[in-house]
Amino acid sequence: MVSSSIIKFFGVTFICYFVSYWLGIYLSEELLKFLHYKDGVSVLIGSGFYTITNYLGQKFYVFNSEQKRSYTI
């Protein structure tokens, strides 16, 4: 039970990190060509996207309240 949560936790973190990294670079290169600070913008976009996706993944997938209820019977 605990090992399953640990795997889910690191899996969500890993996926969110790499998707956010790729999305930040892609958006800064393709959609924001007119800005001179692409590195800063890509970090800002990636960090914001990581925060949102990691929060949602941890809340709804890893620490799901339905799973907690099934263990307390």
**Domain residue spans of the chain:** 2-64
51 compared with 2, residue with greater pLDDT = 51
Arithmetic mean of pLDDT, 41-60: 88
The pLDDT, as a whole number, for residue 55 is 93
The pLDDT, as a whole number, for residue 46 is 86
CA angle, corner 29, sides to 44 and 53, nearest 5? 40
The pLDDT, as a whole number, for residue 67 is 53
Q: Helix crossing, 38-57 with 2-30: angle to 10°?
A: 150
The pLDDT, as a whole number, for residue 42 is 77
Q: Does the pTM exceed 0.75?
A: no
